[in-house]
Amino acid sequence: MNNIENIIPIPEGQSQADFIKNDLGFNIDTNDPLTKAALSDSVENENMDILGSGELMKKTLIKGEINTRPGRLDLCVVDIDGKLEDGTKVENFTDYKIQLGDVEVVQGLDLAIALMDVGEVAEITVFPRFAYGNLGRDPDIPSSSKIIYNVVLKSVTMEPEIDEMSYEKKKEFADKKRERGNWWFSRNEPVLAIQCYRRSLDYLQPSVDNSNKTSQNKITDSQLQALFADRTKVYNNLAAAQIKTEAYDTALESVDNVLRAEPENIKALFRKGRILTRKCETKRAILTFEKAAKLDPESKAITQELSVLRQKLVNESVEQKKLYKKMLGSPKKIENMSSTASSKFKNKLAVWSLFGGTLAAVAGVIVYKFAF
């Protein structure tokens, strides 16, 4: 059963959309396909086009208990059977636990399960874009496969308070999300990988106040060190995913989090060097790779990066000199300009000398006239 209590009843004669807009004060677009699907009650054997594109369809086979749909981050227990269009079974899970919205299943299922009630049995048809895409999944799901799932939503509970979780539970949740992030990263889905890594970090935060916890939930110093070590690992992976999305500033923050804990982490230094290279901070990148090279002098990758950057620095210096020459002109021209300027200065000096002499003569006459 969903453990959300005190559900506000909808007034008689008022639609769900009107209630949300007028009574709860949320503006919603009732024409948006996903919103429309979220507001619709499940009707047996009726196809629901969740996204309005025909790429994600849900058919309720057996209705569940009304008003028990899960919310984002709720923990769901589901049975999942997946098959290809030719009937080949490719997935089978019983009492499978997922956290909704954390892409622990393919995106199509993540969206569709949010529209199921507890006890509901549904057929969910997921087109490749929201399943395994062009890559497929070795060895059983070919590229660009549509998958038909039979899903039973068995129970829903709210996400536990992270700060109240035991060390073992925190580690279990964090590891699961990190591993899922690695899976998405391996499929070249860095945005989804980033989502998973960030959620993993949520479970690796130290408790606000460990002193008031029960002996069961209190984390020891050694366990705290283990959590920090896991955080470092996740931040390193997060930086790699952020580099792929070209989010270099946030990637630099992530990698610096690693280096604050482990200043000699070669992976982090290598990634920092690459980030600085992409940010066109050549000198800082060279210094970072040089530090990495001292720690791992046999690394061909580090040596190659250094070689390229040093040549780039030489090229930049040559280009700067050319630019200065272009701005100032050739040395002969500069010499002529200096000679001309000097000549003009001498002529002006002569004029001012003559003018000064004339003034002196005139002054002498005036003085003589009034003095004698």
Query: pLDDT (tens digit, 9 = 90+) per residue, 8-57?
Result: 455 555 544 554 455 544 555 656 766 766 767 777 878 999 999 999 99
Helices (H), 245-330: 248-261, 266-278, 282-295, 300-328
The contacts of residue 68 (CB under 8 Å, 6+ apart) are 1, 2, 117, 118, 119, 156
Residue 306 has pLDDT above 50, yes or no: yes
Distance set, CA 47 to CA 40, 59, 138, 192, 368 (Å) = 12, 5, 30, 28, 119
Write the single-letter amino acid at 290. Answer: E
Q: Cβ distance 259 to 253 under 8 Å?
A: no
Tokens 């309720």 belong to residue? 60
Q: What is the pLDDT confidence band of residue 319, given thresholds at 50, 70 and 90?
A: confident
Q: 76 forms bridges with which residues in the sheet?
A: 98, 156
pLDDT value at residue 156? 97
Prediction pTM value: 0.76
Mean pLDDT, the chain, integer: 83
